Amino acid sequence: MRSKIRIIAKKDIPELLSMRRCMEVIDACMREVSLRNVELPLRWGLKAGSKGVMGMMPGYLGSPECYGIKLVSLFPENSRHGISSHSGLMVLFEPEFGQPIAVMDAGHLTALRTAAASAVATQVLALPGAKKAAILGTGEQAEFHAAAMLEVQKDIKLTFWGRSRSNAEKIAHRYDDSGYSQACVAPTVEDAVADADIICSVTAAPEPILEGKWLPKDCHVNAVGASIPEHREIDSETVTRSRYFTDYRESCLAQAGELRKAIADGNIDETYISGEIGEVLLGECHGRSSVGEITLYRSLGIAAQDLAAAHAIYRQAEQQDVGTVAEL
């Protein structure tokens, strides 16, 4: 039996999987993760010269049943050149005969499923009726997270901050040009997060840019950057002031730099994690529990999310006959 594989280009993915639909897919996926109907080895990688790394994220997902691997290059400075920081391929296999069935762009897939996961976490952890979201960072994840927060609360005010003010202004102006008038730029992180109901930290910073002393009461934080143990995008006070949730305990304990430092410093221990988002969705642990509480979702990004999103994209591509089918 000759296997056929569908090659799906980056330009086709937005039409095959919207942010709203991806949120539904990730909601179901996170439940599967917390039920442990998955196999998720910790991601690993290697240095790709002096500017970046290559990461490998294999995994198995029980429902919809599939397995595969994402091969991705992470070059943090790419955003300065208008290029995605994440570039690579997602390879999807079917479980009956172990045949590869799809290959697709991993950059857009990663940005989409990451922002969708933050949106799912925001829906269950943030206070309803949020009025202001602070987006820290100006790369691809900033734009995807802004779109995701508008799916959570359509009339929310978006405040952008970036080390490059001009890049932050470009993003805000794009919203102005599209008819959305509630986008602005803040000069500092502290100004950006003042009175924010939702904070999305999506930078490549190796050292903390967000300090816990700046966090408003009742806010929710999506901490998305700093995906290797040596980096910390948020400080220890942000951790200790928050009820701390994550996507997958094992990867969080191994790879979340700010959590590992807080544990090493004796501020907390490994039981500090309040729960996984899937556990909250399943009703196995409660989310926000009191007035004035700060909640935090630590996104490490896991292969199950890639698989769930890739499977949804593949199914739509099959139905619509999108992409190029090649015989191996």
Domain spans, the chain: 4-110+304-327, 126-301
Instruction: Tell me the CATH number for domain 126-301.
Output: 3.40.50.720
Whole-number pLDDT of residue 84? 73
- The mean pLDDT of 198-213, rounded to a whole number, is 95
Tens of pLDDT, residues 137-164? 998 899 999 999 999 999 999 999 999 9
Compute the distance between CA of residue 141 and CA of residue 108 in angstroms, rounded to an integer. Answer: 10
Across 56-60, 119-123, 176-180, 187-191, least confident range? 176-180
On the question of pLDDT at 299 being above 80, the answer is yes
pTM: 0.94
Fold of 4-110+304-327: ornithine cyclodeaminase, domain 1 (3.30.1780)
Greater confidence (210 vs 179) lies with: 210
Whole-number pLDDT of residue 20? 98
Among 110, 200, 188, which residue's Cα sits nearest to residue 150? 200
Residue 289 CB-density burial (10 A; 0-12 exposed, 13-18 middle, 19+ buried) = exposed
- The mean pLDDT of 201-209, rounded to a whole number, is 94
Query: Cα 203–15–182 angle (5° rounding)?
Result: 50
